[in-house]
């Protein structure tokens, strides 16, 4: 599948019905377009099975609650919709995007209680998120934007509005020839990339930022489990930017990124070492088990 995302063949589940891809449209006065009242999940299907599917569906509902937008579908209904989309499009290996949002309705201001909550499920075939970096190691910029305090946003929701500074950071990184950007948090600690969590290796042990003001990704959680199964010590802690100089290996984790090695962050360089490769292979085996 190629071309603009609004001009493709295929089917999209929308508010309980399967519609033609090009007909999956919303009105210009949709509340989410103006006020970011939207949450979403990104998932991958391997061999026809969506990895951690029910966990993703549960998190979508939790994200909706976090932004005061109760989603009127159950986990089972969301699961059925995702399965139907894969079947309707004939996909086995695919990326699945579930999105829920406040639609157009009686309210067109900050308040939107009377507007309906809508939901759609789309899927498409999507290769490695970082392209060749999957093998060679991604190059990251360091963003000027910081992940905000949980006192200012629902930082553990997968909400569309929280990605605005991620888009800005990634655009700036791409302009410098980088694949992505590393973001610090509001205190100055290392946080995450624009759409992926980050891990570091030093002296055979693994260090990853404590997920106390950004999304604790499902891939992050499973990779920590893989490391512990290997009896590798994992430190979930606050990491200062100057510590990057002392780390030997680095990788990113996420549903889209899967496990992607990092070769450079700013002026800091890392080897694509054996542990990085081993974890990437183990994760690949896990999602296809």
Residue with tokens 């500074």: 165
Bridging pattern class, strands 138-147 and 38-46: unpaired
Q: Give me the mean pLDDT over the 65-70 stretch.
A: 98
Q: Give percent above pLDDT 90 in the chain.
A: 95
Phi-psi category of 48—alpha, beta or left, where left has phi over 0 and alpha has psi -120 to 50? left
Over residues 78-98, mean pLDDT: 98
For the cut 90, the answer to whether the pLDDT of residue 2 exceeds it is no
- Architecture of 11-124 per CATH? 2-Layer Sandwich (3.30)
Query: Does the pLDDT at position 135 exceed 80?
Result: no
pLDDT greater than 90 at residue 146: yes
What is the domain partition of the chain in residue ranges?
A: 11-124, 133-287
- Please write the tens of the pLDDT for every residue from 227-272: 999 999 999 999 999 999 999 999 999 999 999 999 999 999 999 9
Q: Write down the catalytic residue from 11, 82, 158, 170.
A: 158
* Residue 130 binned pLDDT confidence (cut-offs 50, 70, 90): confident
Q: Which residues contact 125 (CB under 8 A, 6 or more apart)?
A: 1, 91, 93, 94, 95
The mean per-residue pLDDT over the stretch 156-181 comes to 97
Predicted confidence at residue 131, as pLDDT, reads: 76
Active site residue 144: no
Let me know if the fold of 11-124 is the same as that of 133-287: no
Percent above pLDDT 70 for the chain: 99
Average confidence (pLDDT) over 176-184: 97
1 band by pLDDT with thresholds 50, 70 and 90: low
Q: How many CA atoms lie within 13 A of 271 on its CB side?
A: 7
10 Å CB burial of residue 163 (0-12, 13-18, 19+) is middle
> What's the pLDDT tens digit per position in 32-48?
999 999 999 999 999 99
As a whole number, mean pLDDT of residues 209-236 equals 98
133-287 domain in CATH 3.20.10.10?
yes
Per the confidence metrics, is the pTM higher than 0.85? yes
């Amino acid at each position: 599948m190629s071309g603009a995302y609004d001009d493709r063949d295929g089917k999209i589940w929308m508010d309980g019905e399967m519609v033609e891809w090009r007909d999956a449209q919303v009105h210009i006065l949709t509340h989410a377009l103006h006020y970011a009242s939207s949450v979403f999940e990104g998932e991958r299907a391997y061999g026809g099975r969506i990895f951690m599917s029910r966990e993703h569906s549960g998190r979508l509902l939790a994200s909706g609650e976090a932004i005061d937008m109760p989603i009127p579908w159950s986990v089972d209904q969301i699961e059925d919709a995702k399965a139907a989309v894969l079947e309707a499009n004939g996909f086995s290996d695919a990326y699945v995007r579930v999105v829920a949002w406040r639609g157009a309705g009686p309210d067109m201001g900050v308040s939107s209680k009377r507007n309906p909550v809508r939901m759609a499920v789309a899927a498409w075939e999507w290769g490695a998120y970082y392209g060749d970096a999957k093998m060679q190691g991604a190059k990251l910029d360091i963003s000027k934007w910081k992940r905000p305090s949980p006192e200012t946003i629902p930082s553990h929701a997968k909400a569309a509005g929280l990605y605005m500074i991620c888009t800005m950071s990634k655009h700036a990184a791409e302009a410098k020839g980088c694949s992505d950007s590393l973001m610090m948090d509001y205190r100055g600690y290392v946080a995450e990339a624009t759409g992926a969590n980050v891990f570091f290796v030093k002296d055979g042990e693994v260090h990853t930022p404590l997920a106390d003001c950004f999304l604790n990704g499902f891939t992050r959680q499973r990779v920590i489990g893989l490391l512990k199964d290997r009896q590798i010590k994992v430190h979930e802690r606050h990491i200062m930017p100057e510590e990057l100089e002392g780390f030997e290996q680095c990788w990113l984790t996420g549903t889209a990124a899967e496990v992607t090695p990092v070769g450079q962050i700013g002026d800091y360089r890392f080897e694509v070492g054996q542990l990085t490769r081993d974890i990437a292979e183990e994760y690949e085996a896990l999602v296809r088990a």
